[in-house]
Amino acid sequence: MVDLKNMTIDELEKFFVDIGETKYRAKQVFQWIYRGVTNFEEMTDLKKELRKKLNSIAYISSLKIAQKLVSDADETAKYLFLLDDENIVEGVAIKYSYGNTSCISTQVGCNMKCSFCASGIGGKVRNLKASEMIDEVLIMDNDYGKISNIVLMGSGEPFDNYEEVMKFIKIVNNPFGMGVGIRHITISTCGIVPKIYDFANEGLGVNLSISLHAPTDDLRTQLMPINKVYPIKDLIKACKYYIDKTHRRVTFEYSLIKDVNDNYEMSVKLSKLLRGLLCHVNLIPINYVDEIGYKKADNEKIIAFKNTLEKNGITCTVRRELGSDINAACGQLRRKYLAGRVK
């Protein structure tokens, strides 16, 4: 059985030609899928014989909501999605003045083992298929409200699941599907350098965000083991290539951790590291995770860090703290759910 939701429009056209049907059927089915239809019998503009044929050789996958929490503070919604194999992934829907944003996972768990992130506790279970990532967005679109922006910043490292992520982007951007604008999609990576070059060469125009979190190799390696393989010098070189190739700005994510990377010296070093780059820094007050113990930097430290960057010509913002009352940080709710399920 073939999952039609896991196909691009080109793949779907080939599928219909291979089963002796016209290419036009692909567009019809594609549009039905992105209206939320998973039953071929509801696709009323298809011949009865074709619907019967499809029922015998294909299906349209669909995730289920295992749990949903909504923040009393800011209406942020955290979803736990149940996959066909009983695994669980997280997604978050966030209201902004410019529209609703869907933050999705790309893997079940994560192998990057960043020391401040709950997603990596226990490692990666498996990659998500493009169809599963699509369903995260579709469910939030139907349940929470129209999704106009997508960020791949949930559990998992998108560039460790590169092919399925690229397929996801092409499907979700298709005007016959969800039609999410390419400039409204952002991929966040911890810094798999070869894939940054590949991504730059794709010519997609998707936004790139780099999880940096430290301006020196010693500290970044402590926080992010990936830095042993791809140190900061190589990472910045890849970012320069991306900027030169795409003429797009890179965003650097920097989680501010109390007494770890939040002091004046670090802000100066970060300013020097990024000087001259077409970039923006997103300062993130870190969420507390029980198993890790890192604490959010004090507010005065956050403001001082931001001021130093701006004085040195680096544009930056402080991310709003959203969903703190519903465990909205990556991996937190999934771990609590799984712990409860084991009992």
H helices of 174-262, where?
Answer: 193-202, 217-223, 226-229, 232-246
Smallest CA-to-CA distance from 151 within 284, 273, 59, 246 is with 284
Catalytic entry in 103, 190, 279, 330: 330
Active site residue 90: yes
Judge contact between 98 and 150, C-beta under 8 A: no
Closest CA to 210 of 193, 228, 229: 193
Distance CA 209, CA 35 (A): 30
Collapsing DSSP to helix, strand or coil, 72 comes out as: coil
Tokens of 43: 């696709």
Is beta strand 147-152 parallel, antiparallel or unpaired with respect to 107-108?
Answer: unpaired
Of the residues 21, 90, 132, 253, only one is catalytic, namely 90
Instruction: Based on the residue annotation, tell me whether 202 is a catalytic residue of this protein.
Output: no
- Check: CB of residue 74 under 8 Å from CB of residue 100: no
Which residues carry out catalysis? 90, 330
